[in-house]
Structure 1
Amino acid sequence: MKEFVVIHDYLVTQEIVGDWDGQEEEVAERINEIYHTLYDLAEEDIESEVLMQILELVWDAWIGQESLPELETDDIYDWCRHVIENREQYLQESN
């Protein structure tokens, strides 16, 4: 159940994201936007464990991507929707 997952446990600050040549604030904002979008797109009755596993994919998938500071909201939404719709594939790949 979605309501048992605390999204604030996943959110990051610019200190956590590491060195991005002055773009740490933008990177933290994009990562947090990804977390929030995934959470919002997940259905209300999603199993808590599944949602947590999906949210745990974000850091590994994005923290090394050079395009992260310039990522647009539409791109974030599209990626998150794809992950939610194809969660079984993503969760298998992460194990």
Structure 2
Amino acid sequence: MKEFVVIHDYLVTEGIVGDWDGQEEIVAERVNEIYHTLYDLAEEDIETEVLEGLLALVWDTWIGQEALPEIETDDIYDWCRHLLDNREQHLQQD
């Protein structure tokens, strides 16, 4: 159940994202936007373990992507929607 997942446990700060050549603040904002969007889009009755697994994929997928500082909100929404729609496939890859 979604309400058992505390989104604030996943949010990052500039110090956590590593060196992004002065773009640490924007990178932290983008990662946090991805976390929030995914959480907001998840259905209320999603299994806690499934949501936690999907949230874990955010860091693993995005922290090394050079495009992260430039990603747009629409692209974040689309990625989160895709992840939720294809959760079985993505969670099996773990």
| TM norm structure 2 | 0.99
Q: What does residue 83 of structure 1 align with?
A: 83
Measure, in 2, the Cα distance between the counterparts of 1:69 and 1:89: 27
CA deviation after TM superposition for structure 1 residue 59, in Å: 0.5
CA deviation after TM superposition for structure 1 residue 29, in Å: 0.3
CA deviation after TM superposition for structure 1 residue 67, in Å: 0.2
* Per-residue Cα deviation, 1:51-74 (whole angstroms, up to 9, x for no partner): 000000011100000000000000
Which one-letter code corresponds to 1:15 in the other structure?
Answer: G
- 1:1-95 aligned within 5 A: 1-94=1-94
Superposition misfits of 4+ residues, deviation over 4 angstroms: none
Measure, in 2, the Cα distance between the counterparts of 1:41 and 1:88: 16
| TM norm structure 1 | 0.98
Which one-letter code corresponds to 1:61 in the other structure?
Answer: T
Measure, in 2, the Cα distance between the counterparts of 1:88 and 1:10: 21
Measure, in 2, the Cα distance between the counterparts of 1:24 and 1:75: 20
What number of residue pairs does the alignment pair up? 94
Aligned CA RMSD, in angstroms, stands at 0.4
SS for the counterpart of 1:44 is coil
Measure, in 2, the Cα distance between the counterparts of 1:60 and 1:3: 23
Which one-letter code corresponds to 1:55 in the other structure?
Answer: L
Gaps of 5+ in 2: none
CA deviation after TM superposition for structure 1 residue 88, in Å: 0.2
